[in-house]
Amino acid sequence: MEAKATLKYARISPRKVKIVLDLIRGKDAGTAMAILKNTNKSASEYLVKLLGSAIANAVNNFDMDETALYVSECYVCPGPTLKRIMPRAKGSADRILKRTSHVTIVVKEKN
């Protein structure tokens, strides 16, 4: 049995999220939450809420034991990219890519 939570269209680059996800993959849910709360990265803010949601889904929807949960899967996929321009010298322009992410966290119960 597994429970999952998904965050779509987060305004952060998938590359930045992947760094933090690698820290919590395979860890107990409580340990993963502690790691996220003490990690000084902008992606941690999104992932604390997402992991909390996955844990709540497991407890409320599937009657799993909260102390026996661990992060079995966590991955990020790129979402749509917002294209913006920045004016440059001599009337030219540079393109700015504002990337978005779709993040998924799956928790399972230890046997």
What is the pTM assigned to this prediction?
A: 0.91
The tally of domains found in the chain comes to: 1
Residue 111 has a pLDDT of 81
The answer for residues whose C-beta is within 8 angstroms of residue 43's C-beta and 6 or more apart is: 12, 16, 17, 19, 20, 21
Average pLDDT over residues 29-38: 96
The rounded percent of the chain whose pLDDT value lies above 90 is: 98
Q: How far apart are CA 20 and CA 16, in angstroms?
A: 7
By residue range, what is the domain housing residue 92? 2-109
Residue 7 has a pLDDT of 97
Q: What is the pLDDT of residues 34-86, one digit of tens each?
A: 999 999 999 999 999 999 999 999 999 999 999 999 999 999 999 999 999 99
Q: How far apart are CA 32 and CA 38, in angstroms?
A: 10
Q: Residue 11: enclosing H or E segment and its boundaries?
A: none
Q: Read off the CATH number of the domain in which 83 is found.
A: 3.90.470.10
